[in-house]
Structure 1
Amino acid sequence: MFIDKFPQYAPIGEIGYYGTTSVCMPRLYVDRSDTFWIYSIVMIAFNFFSFMFVLSGFALIAWKLKNLPIKSDNSQRQSAKMNQQICRIMISDFLCWIPICTMAYISVSGVKLPNGVEIFTAGVLLPMNSAFNPILYSPYIENKVKRLCKRFRPSRNHTPIRKSFELNVNCKH
């Protein structure tokens, strides 16, 4: 029906992988029968080694912060806060990229992954990392999120009021 009204937009050839998904994302989970499996492996290896490089850099920063001579309580608090932030960033990146890399290597080795793995990757893992990174890297956003969490968390100083009741039962024998 569309082609009848607009023949100039008739398909010329097969659309392929990118025309069958709603996300413009390279195909990560391939097997060796695919013609572009090397591209996928190079891309996954680059992401894996980039993650390992960033992990080792953050580990070096944390180690240097730990071994710095402590001049004051304030510098100790700042160092501890920086280590906590580094730890949160690395956990977020780990939860995103290690499953993707692992599934890609498993796929290339010949194991058939369940349907929906690419949807899970494109719909959950990558957006999760993208959503958490601004919170983790920006102290302004982190402070806003902490204030929002405090608003909904019950206060620890507030003791709950327990209502007691008295039950008078007169029993006559």
Structure 2
Amino acid sequence: MGCTFVVVSTLHDIMKSEGRAGKSSRKNINKLLILSLSISDLLVGVYTVSICIKAVQVEGSYCNVDIDWRSSTTCSMLGALLIIGSEQSVLTMVLITVYRLHAVMRPMSRPKFKTAGISLMVSWTVSILFGLIPLIPSNEDYFLKFISFNDTSIFKTKVNQTDQKRIITWLSLMKNFTTEDNVTNTGWGTLRRLVAKINPSNPITTTHEFGYYSSHTVCLPTLFPDRKDKAWMYSFILLVTNFLAFVFMLVCYVKLYRKASSTKALESAKSRDQRSKQSATMQRKLTRILVSDFLCWMPVCIMGFLKLAGINIPDDAYLPTGLLILPINSALNPFLYSNLPDRLLAQKSKLVRWLRSSIPPHRKSMKMNVIEMDTSKRVGLDGGNLKLHC
């Protein structure tokens, strides 16, 4: 709901100010970036709500539908949706960082709205590719982990990548296969073709396929990669991308702080007061963003690096990662980049002032009398001299 509200309100602001301010204004570019951030975080919200709905539907009977659910197209699409939303959220935050760094370092130059739009198109393309590459059929030999057949009398319930090679070698050497079927290459397509020829009149077919997003009940990708998995390098690239993005933002924001501090001494008192307010507002936003990103993404990156180093990370860690860490980060980002937290703090201060002013005068006088009575017990007058009672 929060991301939807930010998307609608930002779209309204862009359409309202387009004719008045022009497409080259910094304000419209900032709103465009906030819109992209909100949409990407909205995708993560759709993933979270879908997983929660599915959990309610299969409560108490999940074991009966585990195989069907994890090998379903719905689970794979939800996993891809999570990757697209999460990666685009990170890339949009990097673009916002670059934009703000450019605004501070070159305040006289005006960035073009078209340039910001092209940058967002490129980032969305990269994010969509990150999410959909594991689902491309031609990449199944890299991302597909298990398959199961409808004839379990010959094959066990699930055939993994190691069993695939042995079965292909065995089938290619059977006497009822022609020389054309004696293959040297291995792959899931070759396995399906050879298995189907065992009984041409009633061919054996696959019933379930477990891909990159099918390892866990919440349809997460393999964020904590294992070197035994063929796709571990792809997961490693995702972790490194997010880790480097955070480091890049951290360096840029430190540079922004230093630049803002160095310009204070060169400005007049009036302009210094205005810029100090703007700088304080920006610093509060940046601090909230950095803390949020650090608390949400760094634990995921660290656990992934520890897994690659050989330290065992239990699969139970995927559940809080998919339902708590990443969704919370995505839900907070649009509000952290907007002025809503500052407005809420301003309303809170107004509420405190109103509560203080609403105290009746007689209660204030009663409070002062109590203080004076308590003081008189400890302080007395004797012959005009002040005495303190121990």
Same-fold status (TM-score > 0.5): yes
Say yes or no: does 1:142 pair with 2:341: yes
TM-score by length of structure 1 reads 0.73
Instruction: Give the CA deviation at 1:136.
Output: 0.7
Q: Pick the aligned partner of 1:130 from 321, 325, 330.
A: 330
Q: Tell me the distance in 2 between the aligned counterparts of 1:130 and 1:153.
A: 31
* Superposed CA RMSD: 3.2
Q: Pick the aligned partner of 1:68 from 248, 258, 263.
A: 263
Distance 1:152 1:118, change over 3 A: farther
The unaligned stretches of length 5 or more in structure 2 are 1-204, 371-390
Q: Tell me the distance in 1 between the aligned counterparts of 2:324 and 2:351.
A: 25
Q: Which has the higher strand share?
A: 2
Q: Tell me the distance in 2 between the aligned counterparts of 1:149 and 1:41.
A: 44
Q: Tell me the distance in 1 between the aligned counterparts of 2:296 and 2:337.
A: 16
Say yes or no: does 1:29 pair with 2:224: yes
Instruction: Give the CA deviation at 1:149.
Output: 5.4
Distance 1:68 1:147, change over 3 A: closer
* Alignment-derived partner of residue 238 in structure 2: 43
Distance 1:115 1:149, change over 3 A: farther
Q: Tell me the distance in 1 between the aligned counterparts of 2:221 and 2:233.
A: 12
* Alignment-derived partner of residue 175 in structure 2: none
Q: Tell me the distance in 2 between the aligned counterparts of 1:123 and 1:29.
A: 16
Say yes or no: does 1:105 pair with 2:305: yes
Say yes or no: does 1:15 pair with 2:215: no
Distance 1:153 1:100, change over 3 A: farther
Say yes or no: does 1:84 pair with 2:284: yes
The unaligned stretches of length 5 or more in structure 1 are 1-9, 165-173
Q: Tell me the distance in 1 between the aligned counterparts of 2:323 and 2:307.
A: 19
Letter in 1 for 2:225: V
TM-score by length of structure 2 reads 0.35
Higher relative contact order (CA 8 A, sep 6+): 1
The secondary structure found in structure 2 opposite 1:30 is coil
Q: Tell me the distance in 2 between the aligned counterparts of 1:26 and 1:103.
A: 14
Aligned residues: 155
The secondary structure found in structure 1 opposite 2:332 is helix
* Kept in 1: contact 2:292–2:329 (CA 8 A): yes
User: Sequence identity of aligned pairs in percent?
Assistant: 33
Letter in 2 for 1:113: I
Instruction: Give the CA deviation at 1:156.
Output: 7.6
Aligned structure 1 segments of 4 or more residues deviating by more than 4 angstroms: 147-156, 161-164
* Alignment-derived partner of residue 57 in structure 1: 252
The secondary structure found in structure 1 opposite 2:245 is helix
The structure whose Rg is larger is: 2
The secondary structure found in structure 2 opposite 1:12 is strand
The secondary structure found in structure 2 opposite 1:128 is helix
* Kept in 2: contact 1:62–1:86 (CA 8 A): no
Distance 1:25 1:150, change over 3 A: farther
| Structure 1 range deviating more: 114-123 or 83-92 | 114-123
Q: Which has the higher helix share?
A: 2
* Kept in 1: contact 2:220–2:318 (CA 8 A): no
